[in-house]
Amino acid sequence: MQVRHALGVPRRVDRIGLQFQPVERGKAPDMMIGEHPNEAGGTDFARPIYAYPLVATYVGSGDPKSPQSFKGAPTTK
């Protein structure tokens, strides 16, 4: 499924797989991975998506296109 937001925001999210996690494991997901598709059908970058009040925050090192380079941090607003 694609999530349509402003440019530069992840648009593809595996919602189907995440829907089964609470049923099969008895636990809601802590975060989801969203992907921003490119024109060739690949992925430009991916980001973790956290439940409020957490937001994806770059850890300061690693590939900024990789979700592993981000952590959940409280929003500053």
Q: What is the per-residue pLDDT across 3-24, written as a single tens digit (0 to 9) for each? A: 444 445 555 666 566 666 666 6
Q: Taking residues 25-45, report their average pLDDT.
A: 83
pLDDT at 7: 45
Which whole-number Å values give the CA distances from 49 to 14, 24, 39, 40, in the listed order? 11, 21, 23, 24
Map out the domains of the chain as residue ranges. Answer: 12-74
Residue 65 has pLDDT above 60, yes or no: yes
Tell me how many degrees the CA angle 9-71-52 measures, rounded to the nearest 5.
65
